[in-house]
Structure 1
Amino acid sequence: MTKNMNAPSTRGPLDHSVREQIVDAATEHFGHYGYEKTTVSELAKSIGFSKSYIYKFFDSKQAIGEVICANRLEMIMEVVNSAVSDAPSASEKMRRLFRSLTEAGSELFFHDRKLYDIAAVAARDKWPSTEKHEERLHNLIESIITEGRTAGEFERKTPLDEATQAIYLVMRPYVSPVQLQYNLEAAPTAAALLSSLILRSLSP
């Protein structure tokens, strides 16, 4: 996958283009060889750049992995938001949230195994991209609970932050890249059973 890429002599939009070229090439390379087993030197050689030139755009291999991880997590959130957006009720949104998260994560594991490993490393080491992803999930869960309470679907006695955190912790073994890989077989059943359990606990 060696590519000859001419180094730009100016800053600005061209820099952005080169960063994208590096990320695209790294995504392909990590997808084939794995993230943890690849050095920046090996990556530079594979895409036709010097290591020092790559360091002009990214200060570490993790910085490159961070962008790739953020891109993958954004894809998962797009799937989730699309599944949830047209649900007719807060209860159905909660079901779709759990189902779409487990399906998207499982699909990434089975079809992009080497890139899934980046997400697992990122979650294990608490990269900013995974912390942001977790925050977005918390916000989405909170908004669904709030909607359900407003519509009279859910109880209102439990503090909102407590209910949000509890639901996230129930979902976590099936949405965290570190834990999902050990729960893949149970994920489809868990999505159905646990979402039903969550909804019963939220009943007024």
Structure 2
Amino acid sequence: MSNPERDTRQIIVDTAERFFRDIGYQKTTVADIAKSLRMSPANVYRFFDSKKSINEAVLERYKREQEEAIATIAAEDRSAAERLRDILATSYRLNAARFAGHARMQEMVCAAMEESWDAIIAHIERFDVVLRRVVADGIARGEFRPMEPAHATGCIRTAMIRFMHPLLITQCECIPGPNADEMIAFVLSALEARPQGR
């Protein structure tokens, strides 16, 4: 069943995303978005109290897409190592497709980091919950060596940051180093349970 208010919010977010991608976050105004939709700025402000809140809604869509994808992988009936590998590879693929080489989309992320840090932290925490569950499962199954899952999760995220952070994906491309698949293999090797006596 259609919900007119939700549909209007969605149309505003779709339009804002297009403007952010085409001309950039800083150059986009609420008036631009309203004019494109043939509505008044005041009408846009009925749904979003600021351009910052529109930006948060655009990024929330991206974050939800990523979080749903990794949660689906985490719930699969496969080894923890396979699931962890696919979670990290999927996160990299989604972020690279959305942000790598897209300076205007990176500008939107920069604005969010300055204006909406709490929303960014909340996303990182939800991401960590999924990783921690898979790591803990791998430890319980004997696939991964004994360790504190929360500590391991923080180490994994830090090791993968150049492949996860929307800004670093592009900025680090010219720096020599492993590619995403090589880094994921390194992370999995660090977690792997070692036979007794080694």
What residue in structure 1 maps to residue 139 of structure 2?
149
Determine whether 1:63 maps to 2:28.
no
How many corresponding residue pairs?
192
In the alignment, which of 27, 37, 45 is matched to residue 47 of structure 1? 37
What residue in structure 2 maps to residue 108 of structure 1?
98
Measured against aligned partners, the alpha-carbon deviations of 1:118-162 in whole angstroms (never above 9, x if no partner) come to 234324544444223211211111011111011101112x32221
The answer on whether the counterparts of 2:20 and 2:104 sit within 8 Å (CA) in structure 1 is: yes
The answer on whether the counterparts of 2:66 and 2:94 sit within 8 Å (CA) in structure 1 is: yes
175-184 vs 100-109, greater mean Cα deviation: 175-184
Q: TM-score, normalised by structure 2?
A: 0.82
**Cα distance 1:129–1:45, how it changes in 2: closer, same or farther (>3 A)?**
same
Cα root mean square deviation, aligned: 2.7
- Measured in 2, the distance between the counterparts of 1:190 and 1:110 equals 14
Determine whether 1:167 maps to 2:167.
no
- Measured in 1, the distance between the counterparts of 2:172 and 2:13 equals 30
The answer on whether the counterparts of 1:124 and 1:178 sit within 8 Å (CA) in structure 2 is: no
145-154 vs 89-98, greater mean Cα deviation: 89-98
**Cα distance 1:57–1:64, how it changes in 2: closer, same or farther (>3 A)?**
same
Q: TM-score, normalised by structure 1?
A: 0.80
Counterpart AA for 1:145: V
What residue in structure 2 maps to residue 198 of structure 1?
187
19-28 vs 83-92, greater mean Cα deviation: 83-92
Identity of aligned residues (%): 25
- Measured in 2, the distance between the counterparts of 1:93 and 1:142 equals 12
In the alignment, which of 12, 22, 30 is matched to residue 20 of structure 2? 30
